[in-house]
Structure 1
Amino acid sequence: MPQLRIRHTQGETLVTICDEELIGEKFEEGELKLEVKNSFYEGKEASVEECINALKEATIANLVGSIVKHAIKAQIINPKNVLRIQDVPHAQMARL
């Protein structure tokens, strides 16, 4: 089940979503590094639907794991903008 965290700061809505089992892990591939820090990604368990609804309200988002494919399907994330580090999908989004 995904972990969802929503923060409101300086007029922005930051949403972080990560597969629960990836929290606390580090991934490296060549020059790419991804550290899935508890302090940044740990939140509450949420359904995919709750996560997608949160992403629709987000001005900034960081996604790690299976939620990336759901965000692509919902047309929130462009598949061309997804990084894979050790086969773990990672995407960021910002609305201007």
Structure 2
Amino acid sequence: MYLKIHEVDGKKVVAVCDRALLGRSFEDGEISVEITERFYKGEIASRSEVISVLQDAENVNLFGDMAVGCAIESGLIDEEGIIRIAGIPHAQIFVI
């Protein structure tokens, strides 16, 4: 998976996507999404590394089976918190 941490106004925004999705675009009805290198391409990370980083994140954006699976495994979301865009699992988590 690719893991990239952005700092925005002093808050950590974590972007994680499955490696095979980087650079691809998906459309589903009126929704159009591009998994850009600018936002998602950071370090290649293992499942345990991603789960560790998710524990301290204020905002998280996840695309793909493995990436979303990490959030489920860590208890941050459940199946109801996932949407699918062109069949690809996606989740956003915001900690207030």
- TM-score, normalisation: structure 1: 0.92
Aligned residue pairs total 95
1:3 aligns with 2:2: yes
Aligned to 1:15: 14
Matches within 5 A, 1:41-52: 41-52=40-51
Offset of 1:87 from its aligned partner? 1.2
Q: For structure 1, list consecutive stretches of 5 or more residues without a partner in the other structure.
A: none
CA RMSD, Structure 1 to Structure 2 (Å) = 1.1
User: Which string of whole-angstrom CA distances, capped at 9 and with x for unpartnered residues, describes residues 76-95 of structure 1?
Assistant: 12321211112110100110
**Residue type at the aligned position of 1:59:** E
Question: Which portions of structure 1, spanning 4 or more consecutive aligned residues, are displaced by more than 6 angstroms?
Answer: none
Aligned to 1:36: 35
**Residue type at the aligned position of 1:33:** S
Task: State the identity as a percent.
Answer: 37
User: Which string of whole-angstrom CA distances, capped at 9 and with x for unpartnered residues, describes residues 15-46 of structure 1?
Assistant: 00001110110001112222101100001100
**Residue type at the aligned position of 1:80:** E
SS at match of 1:57: coil
Q: Distance in 2 between matches of 1:10 and 1:16?
A: 16
- TM-score, normalisation: structure 2: 0.92
**Residue type at the aligned position of 2:35:** V
Q: For structure 2, list consecutive stretches of 5 or more residues without a partner in the other structure.
A: none
SS at match of 1:50: helix
**Which deviates more from structure 2 when the two are superposed, residues 37-46 or residues 25-34?**
25-34
